[in-house]
Structure 1
Amino acid sequence: MVTAVREAIEALLGPGAVATHCPNHTGAGKLSYEVRARGERWWVKVAASDEEGRRLTRWASVATILAERHGAPPVLEVLDVLDRTALLFPFLDHPVATRSTLLDRYAEVGAVLDGLHADHDLAGRLGGPVTGRESFRDVWVSRFEADLRIIAGHVAPDVYDYLAAEVETLAALVDGLDLPVHHAIHGDPWHENVLLGWDRVWLIDWESIAVGDPVIDRAILLMDVHGAQRAAWPTEPRHQVARRALLLDAAVDGAADWVQSSEPAMRRAKEVGFHDGLAAYRADVHLG
């Protein structure tokens, strides 16, 4: 599929176009390409599934607002690549943030998120109010439940039972977050989704944009830069539930990434990440 999509992009963008597949941390299944043609560079993101196609379509529907107000790259065109939704962007030749460089620009990224969360017009375009429970469930609990189905039979039975019980515990905590929220959220503002220009920051990969609880964005950024150290986290219940979810994410989603990885080096790295995440989660729960 990666090669077929590459060839389709090259044909669509005309003579001389050269597309290069650029897998990221989520693996080779992601269909993102750098394209060079006629002395220009673009970035093309192609939906790898029907669900991702729906997400890209939603992103495209508010892309102008995101580019004008919230540090997103402009969407130049919506493409059809082998009957898959695809978005065409200018290539932004800026370094991707690391955790250490993001720390230096933490306030700038925080200001972008604050503006996004305060944009009531954008939130209204995305949909009506939801509850914190619905938002946390969409971002974490539903994904963890799907991950459990993926890893069943691939991890030791006692590890599976432990993770399943912890997902159930998290779901019960999330069920208590029943206050309404009506904010636009990015949904995944960690360092690999931040480009650092010399005079501004760019927030990329908006496919998870939704109406939700802004604590989710803030918690992801906080965990990415400061980690799980308790002193860095607000004691307010939503932040504490988000902290627990992010720690569990490294174990449950890490296990699913490992099971689904086919490239040997990436598979080994994902396995190490899963075991490290599981150990960190267990240690934190024990200390808590």
Structure 2
Amino acid sequence: MSGEHLSNIPMTHREIAQAALRATVGSATIDSIRPIPGGVSGALVYRVTAGGRRYVLRMEGLASPLRNPHQYTSMRIAAQAGIAPRLHHVDEVARVAVMDFIVEQPLNTYPGGPHALAQALGDMLRRLQATPRFGRFVEYPEIVARLWAHVCRTNLFAPGVLDAHTQRLADLRGAYTWNSDEAVSSHNDILPRNLLFDGERLWLVDWESAYCNDPVVDMATMLDNFAPSPELEEVLLQAWLGHPPDRSLRDRLELMRALTRLFYAGVQFSAVATAARLVPDTDLSAPTLAEFQQALRDGRLAPDALETRHLLGKMYLAAFFTGEKPPGLPPPISAFQVMGTAEA
């Protein structure tokens, strides 16, 4: 294997990459190894071309305190069900996987438009939840609470600024009830950046958060990211359930949507907290989506800047508190610029 190709990979991961690729392609010549940008998990992800085929090489970064131990088993089950791309190699000890590379087409080119996409997503979720159950991990409200506690410890915000949100989280956790025997296989991070369309069908990628969970978690995230109108929400729900949800399920979905919004606010703030902030923020005001997009178009916000993520976190925080829809997380944040230009 050419050292030139491996030069894109940090020294700490070169032996892991070499072993995984040899197990996948054997003696075939590796033509290229190129980084795939845009991920937020910290994983090292590369597109590999070898023997006339393209693969994705994914190696985990530093393990977080909440690292999910079931991700590779979950990925295998999903691949066998045709929901995740085909797996060629997995080494759970080395924390590496090699899978098919999907040549991605824009989701807005899905045949039949948003209605058909919502139907396909609901069907995909129904098939995922019918697979052999993934391993159990931490219950979702606990995951959210731990992430939020971390945010509150970062000193991103001045003392007292987040107290009302912390209380709302406590209220939601107190109201949350479910039967853990009803847990199903869950991706737990179904965002546009993790959904690929190859021109014919959909694939889910990035299974690091996948474990057995409350069935409404994935649907809550889907509703906020793929159903911008009440009509599309109903299409998505009908395709998932096969019938309209009852009042009880709708109430559970609303509660879970609030929790997922706080989770993604926490993800943004945690990323921002990796850089020193001189003065804690005292202002939780958030721009509208239209204002956010305009700021990106005007160049007042840089798509991948930490300040942009800070504002995005505030938008999710506002949605958590008010019940309004959050902005969504297209792949990557810079896609806001493209979306905004298209709508202008």
User: Which TM-score tier does this pair reach, normalised by the shorter chain?
Assistant: 0.7 to 0.9
CA–CA separation in structure 1 for the residues paired with 2:166 and 2:231: 24
CA–CA separation in structure 1 for the residues paired with 2:149 and 2:231: 26
2:260 aligned partner: 246
1:284 aligned partner: 323
2:197 matched to 1:196?
Answer: yes
Q: TM-score, normalised by structure 2?
A: 0.65
1:4 aligned partner: 11
- 1:76 positional shift: 0.6
2:279 matched to 1:269?
Answer: no
1:159 aligned partner: 161
In structure 2, give the amino acid aligned to 1:275.
K
Q: Write out aligned runs for 1:97-108 (5 A).
A: 97=107, 104-108=116-120
2:91 matched to 1:85?
Answer: no
**Helix, strand or coil at the partner of 1:77:** strand
2:50 aligned partner: 37
Cα deviation code 1:215-244 (max 9, x no counterpart):
111111111123597995865332121121
In structure 1, give the amino acid aligned to 2:147.
R
Check conservation: 1:97, 1:196, Cα contact below 8 A.
Answer: yes
Cα deviation code 1:60-86 (max 9, x no counterpart):
335443223241112211248xx7410
Check conservation: 1:53, 1:85, Cα contact below 8 A.
Answer: no
Cα deviation code 1:81-114 (max 9, x no counterpart):
xx74100112111236469976641211211110
Distance 1:157 1:86, change over 3 A: same
**Helix, strand or coil at the partner of 2:162:** helix
1:206 aligned partner: 207
- 1:272 positional shift: 1.8
Identity of aligned residues (%): 20
Q: Write out aligned runs for 1:52-91 (5 A).
A: 55=68, 58-79=70-91, 84-91=94-101
Which structure's CA Rg is the greater one?
2
CA–CA separation in structure 2 for the residues paired with 1:93 and 1:180: 38
CA–CA separation in structure 2 for the residues paired with 1:251 and 1:54: 19
2:272 matched to 1:258?
Answer: yes
2:98 matched to 1:94?
Answer: no
Distance 1:284 1:264, change over 3 A: closer
**Helix, strand or coil at the partner of 2:306:** helix
CA–CA separation in structure 2 for the residues paired with 1:62 and 1:179: 18
Check conservation: 2:58, 2:96, Cα contact below 8 A.
Answer: yes
- 1:189 positional shift: 1.7
Distance 1:193 1:278, change over 3 A: same
Cα deviation code 1:163-200 (max 9, x no counterpart):
333332332233x3356323211211222111112322
**Helix, strand or coil at the partner of 2:224:** helix
CA–CA separation in structure 1 for the residues paired with 2:161 and 2:230: 25
**Helix, strand or coil at the partner of 2:160:** helix
Distance 1:137 1:3, change over 3 A: same
Choose from 119, 131, 149 the match for 1:145.
Answer: 149
**Helix, strand or coil at the partner of 2:268:** helix
Cα deviation code 1:20-48 (max 9, x no counterpart):
33232526x33222223344321111111
Aligned length: 270
> What 5-or-longer segments of structure 2 have no aligned partner?
1-7, 23-28, 235-244, 277-301, 325-344
More helix by share: 1
**Helix, strand or coil at the partner of 1:205:** coil
2:126 aligned partner: 114
Q: TM-score, normalised by structure 1?
A: 0.76
Check conservation: 1:216, 1:242, Cα contact below 8 A.
Answer: yes
CA–CA separation in structure 2 for the residues paired with 1:11 and 1:231: 45
- 1:5 positional shift: 4.9
2:222 aligned partner: 221
